[in-house]
Structure 1
Amino acid sequence: MDWRAARFDWNHARAFLATAEEGSLSAAARALGITQPTLGRQVAALEQELGAVLFERVGRGLRLTPGGEALLGHLRAMGEAAGRFSLAAAGQSDSIAGRIRITTTHVYAAHLLPPVVIRLRAQHPGIEVEIVAENKPTDLLRREADIAIRNYASTQPELVVRKLRDDAGHFYATPAYLRSIGRPRNAAEMARGVFIGFPTPEMMAAALQARGYALTPAHFPITCENHLVQWEYVKQGAGIGLMTEAVGDAEPLVRRVLPRAAPIRFPMYLAAHRELHASRRMRVVFDALVAALARPPMDAPQP
């Protein structure tokens, strides 16, 4: 394989990197936002340019050949350099108009952000906001998003991180469901119910046991990665679920299970890349999020 003689096309390299990281053409196409046939043509074009087979099919997935493994490290380094260049270029922009991607959890995206985005767009109509609703962490350094609202503190030195406040959550259920199990009066009696949670019942049970709830993984017979879907099951009487105080108290279909119990508190952080934070658009959006979210919703200014 003559690397020096190869004609290089960055689109083909991106297709190769995405396929290598995702393990299949379909997953890589979704990650890049292009069709699978287009991605396949780009990978095939890179193989033709290099005169080498880069992938071999294994079942329904793909595996790198030795030649593909040799190429992967070089192109990853190039991809990281391209990302740093893009961040630096975006950081120099003095224009407010343009697109910005905000990532946060499903619940925050659906319930916390709408009034903030509406107010922001009323003040700056040129700003286009893309909401990336995802409970799993997104990589700001790879430009999967520009700003993240998270419940943990990012430790990467390239990020600007601002703690907004501590949020609070409670357990909720419908009145009918609480009657069906005999309304619990304390943490021990909560074990009479079933819970709706994430697909990690062992972790959830252990965390709640540390808070005095006598729960086991068997108490979580219904799980879903999407917190909004969990909430719908709670609202329709399938069991008990945890929700942020602002959302849960505003929902007329449910009640707090233990009204006088101390809330479960968790931090809320805002994170952005340092170079992006230097751009005017980034500063405007970042500052708007701080102003709107640094205080509990009942104290925040109305749109």
Structure 2
Amino acid sequence: MNRTTAKRIISFMILCILPLTFYAQKTKKVCGEYIYYVPTNQSLEQAKAIALDRAKIKALADEFGTIVSQTNSTVITNENGKTDNRFFSLSGSEVKGEWLENEGEPQYEISYEQNMLTVKCSVCGKAREIKNSSVNFKAMILRNGTSERFNSSEFHDNDFMYLLFQAPVDGYVAAYLIDETPTAYCLLPYQNDSDGQQAVKHGQEYIFFSPEKALEEVNLVDQYSLTCTGTVEQNQIYVIFSPNPFIKATDNLNGKYMPRQLNYKDFTEWLSNCRKLDQQMSIKILHMEIRP
């Protein structure tokens, strides 16, 4: 190898590394805190999940700002035994930043104020400013039906679940269910997809987990009937989309009729690494509960 060729290769390597270095510098550590006043019809686990979400949103709003002119926080009053709940109006889609990963475990303080249960959540994590390069897509959880009118977040034992998806550009999609343990279950790509990718075409509406709605090129569709034998379960569906190819996380088969799975820590590390390298990757988190 002559000296000129070596210089060209080194220059090329530097050019490849610089964008990743520059991008990594754009992540920031942010911290947020939120006190949630729990309505009487919510469980402690539900309240902790809501408090965590809102602590993250508050941290992003404080660091990067919002795209709405006014925001409100939850105000719950209890006068003469009557509870008045004004909902938190700021959503994750209205802040100019996005949460990449937690740093450490969220901290909770449970207490009572004026006979009302309160959950205080403090959390820190890595985040980045949204530069409007991510893609806005449509994703809905469907209960016992394959059209939009079956959109629901409430399921019962033995209900069937489907995922409606549509994107404005060609790309790739994955879906994971996170349960309360927490464990991550890979719902999409399907188990028989050996390449670990689920490609989608722009503008086309997909109904995943339904054999009747499957495309001709799909050989085997995974179907999901939800089960709940005890108390109400709170789950989340992570729908991940990018116009750029990405490979699902490394997972394991744990039971004949169960989706492939991995522990939550490994899932979040995989997702964080994907998002650090792909600024166009978008995520929607859909909340759902399963009742006996």
TM-score by length of 1: 0.24
Indicate the structure (1 or 2) with the bigger Cα radius of gyration: 1
Between Structure 1 and Structure 2, the one with more helix by share is 1
Between Structure 1 and Structure 2, the one with more strand by share is 2
TM-score by length of 2: 0.25
> Larger relative CO (CA 8 A, sep 6+): 1 or 2?
1
